[in-house]
Chains A and B, each alone.
Chain A
Amino acid sequence: ALVSCHRHYRSRPTHGIGRFKYLLPKEAPKKKKDKVQMKEIDVGTEHEYGDLNIQMTSYDMCLVEHFAQYVHRLCNQLSVRVKESYAMPTKTNEVLFLEERGSKMQLDAVLTTHQRVVQISGLSSTFAPILLEVIQSNQPEGVHLLVKEHTEADFKSRLKSRPELEELLAQMS
């Protein structure tokens, strides 16, 4: 036969053999809007940091990406839980030199700034200085390193603003 169909027809007693999806637990319907935040555990008596962001910025994209990969792998190996690893949008700066002498010449230079963020959670306070020191001593040249706690503002900076929504909200209130 050209098309071999292994399905059992409805009138046959073997209809529905092989069904299993009804046995699996029910999944919650996936909403379009992302959940905002995980809960944060802060220091105190817990001796653990909450969500930490390791932000690496540089003009050189290869360096920054390789360094971000290195940090991610290091955390994996040291069994520090990496929650997210994302990149912020690149910022382009145009540098104009205005030479006043002679004719006004403008020499342009275009600089792109790249930023990568690795988000960690569950770092114990006895281990944190060691990890920070390792990362600090392995920093490549030209890469700025910043380690800070994750806040809502950081989360919001990743999302795009919707001017129409804001206009409507402003009109409403």
Chain B
Amino acid sequence: MFPGTSGGRGARRERGGNMAAPVSVMAASARWGRRFGTAAAPRPWRLFGAMCLLRPPRITQPLEKEEEEMAALMAQIELEKSQYSDHEIRKLQEEEQLRRRKESAYDDEDEAPGKTVIMAQDLEDKWEQKLLQFKAAPRITDADKNNDRMSLNRKLDSNLMLLVKQKIGNQQLWLLPQVEWQPGETLRGTAERAMAMFLGDRIQAKVLGNAPHGIYKYKYPRAIRTEDTVGAKVFFFKAFLQSSDLSQAELKEDHLWVAKDELGDYLKLEYLKKVNRFLLDL
């Protein structure tokens, strides 16, 4: 199926070149018309809807070296340009009072217990202690270290996509989950059905719009082509996972959560090219 595509398209073009100019133009326009036609005339393409399920990144990516230097510089400039806040003014005043009291050899001892019970310095110490108690979650999780591609905790700072092994024709291929379109259904509904088929019903995934994000079309090899089916078109939709726990059944098949640069390991070249066109890299 897939290796046959480029061969089929190339052969078609050669034949078009040999024909006379107006005929080839008509053939081209007919092809375009067939591709975009929405009439109910017998269409030789089988339609599939595929869902690209993205898990949005949970953490921001670490800054580059230049960005870090710039951020440090800006912070320093801002610090030098800024003015004292209430807390800092209070702290300075109290330090001055302490100094004055020590120099004047404990003259106003009566004032001391009455005045400030809590000093600004004490507050700061308390806050520092609280900060030390707080522990941030690790950025590189266990799944990263094990390179476990089936878990969702892997690369917390990039998009992860769902890949499923599906049987097409007589081959088992890694694909974005796809399902055939049934008449009377919107393509978005098809994509959602594909997602539901592989991941169960109750997934909190949000599809942003009704328009597909990409299309991949391929022709069947000559052997399987009939009058009705010349090839298939796969329309891609994008959805974002809202919650990252998939406690519902992960039905059958192998599934993988894969980042964009790792897609090349699994997908075929032509398919990969079309998929890469609509994937945003943060």
Contacts and interface: CB of A to CB of B under 8 A. Distances in A.
A125 B208 contact: no
A83 B56 CA distance: 29
Given A126-B209, A129-B208, A129-B213, A137 B238 contact: no
Contacts of A16: none
B271 interface: no
B208 A133 contact: yes
B280 interface: yes
B198 interface: no
Interface size class of A (residues with CB under 8 A): 10 to 19
Contacts of B238: 129, 133
Interface of B is mostly: loop
B19 interface: no
Nearest to A137: B282
Interface in B58-75: 59-60
Interface string A112-145: 0000000000000110110011101110110000
A133 B60 CA distance: 16
Contacts, number: 31
Interface in B30-85: 56-57, 59-60
B127 to A, nearest CB: 9
Nearest to B159: A137
B174 to A, nearest CB: 24
Contacts of B60: 140-141
Contacts of A107: 126
B210 interface: yes
Contacts of B168: none
B211 interface: yes
A25 B159 CA distance: 56
A140 B211 CA distance: 27
B56 A136 contact: yes
Q: 9 tightest A-B contacts by CB?
A: A129-B208, A129-B209, A126-B211, A137-B282, A132-B208, A128-B209, A141-B60, A125-B209, A133-B280
Given A126-B211, A137-B159, 8 more contacts: A107-B126, A129-B213, A132-B209, A136-B56, A137-B57, A137-B282, A140-B60, A141-B59
